[in-house]
């Protein structure tokens, strides 16, 4: 009886805890403040680990007493998953620069124009902080300008097509200025990250610079750098 109860408690607890972890993102997308869902996810992750441990205890007792083991195993798997997802995010954050504004040109970063009003209430301002430049260079040395052997008009067309293919919300496509602005929305939490692309002439060809900045959060878990890499690859390959 004790083994069965422990298995049931572990399984139900693991399901609830893991469910809170999974729902943290959608809840934020529907308007629950990030601080609230983040705290809930942290507590739920710890609870999930605790119920997974309880599942291990129940499984040991089930083996010793030759009782059914399905619920205990399920609790271990579900609780473990509920803990590992947030834990892996935390580990990733610890191995990456603690920044959220990435650009191919840290000396003269592309400036946001059209998205500035959209960031009015965002915790992270639109202005570039030069203090993050050294952290970026150390953590993402591959994020550099893209040099193309083609006129700026063609490079701009490629960049605009790449932005549109990415499915981002387009805010500006100023050909005369060589400036494109858009907003990317992350899948799980619905975070808004703004992107600006700058195309300029260079020695008979063109140079493309990109900047991607999160509206909220201190660490972007490498998302902005990955976004820039993907966009530059799309532009380069046409």
Q: pLDDT tens across 110-141, in order?
A: 999 999 999 999 999 999 999 999 999 999 99
Q: Which residues, at least 6 apart from 224, have a Cβ–Cβ distance to it below 8 Å?
A: 100, 101, 102, 193, 212, 213, 214
Give residue-wise pLDDT tens across range 179-218.
999 999 998 888 999 999 999 999 889 999 999 999 998 8
Helix 34-65 to helix 70-94 angle, to the nearest 10 degrees? Answer: 140
Percent of the chain with pLDDT strictly greater than 70: 99
Taking the complete model, does pTM exceed 0.75, yes or no? yes
What is the dihedral sign for C-alpha 26, 30, 34, 40? negative
Q: Give the Cα separation of 168 and 32 in Å (integer).
A: 23
> Closest by alpha carbon to 109, among 208, 209, 215, 178?
209
- Give the residue with greater pLDDT, 143 vs 93: 143
Q: What is the pLDDT of residue 1?
A: 64
């Amino acid at each position: 009886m004790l083994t069965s109860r422990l298995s049931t408690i572990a399984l139900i607890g693991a399901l609830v805890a893991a469910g809170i972890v999974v729902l943290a993102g959608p809840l934020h997308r529907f308007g629950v403040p990030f601080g609230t869902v983040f705290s809930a996810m942290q507590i739920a992750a710890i609870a999930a680990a605790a119920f997974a441990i309880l599942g291990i205890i129940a499984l040991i007792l089930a083996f010793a007493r030759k009782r059914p083991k399905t619920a205990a195993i399920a609790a271990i798997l579900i609780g473990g998953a509920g803990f590992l997802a947030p834990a892996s995010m935390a580990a990733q954050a610890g191995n990456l620069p603690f920044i959220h504004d990435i650009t191919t040109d840290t000396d003269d970063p592309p400036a946001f124009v059209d998205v500035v009003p959209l960031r009015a209430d965002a915790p992270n301002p639109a202005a570039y902080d030069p203090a993050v430049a050294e952290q970026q260079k150390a953590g993402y040395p591959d994020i550099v300008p893209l040099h193309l052997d083609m006129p700026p008009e063609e490079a701009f067309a490629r960049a605009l097509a790449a932005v549109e293919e990415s499915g981002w919300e387009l805010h500006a496509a100023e050909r005369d200025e060589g400036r494109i602005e858009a907003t990317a929305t992350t899948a799980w939490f619905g975070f808004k990250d703004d992107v600006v692309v700058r195309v300029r002439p260079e020695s008979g060809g063109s140079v493309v610079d990109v900047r991607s900045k999160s509206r909220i959060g201190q660490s972007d878990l490498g998302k902005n750098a990955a976004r820039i890499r993907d966009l530059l690859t799309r532009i380069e390959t046409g």
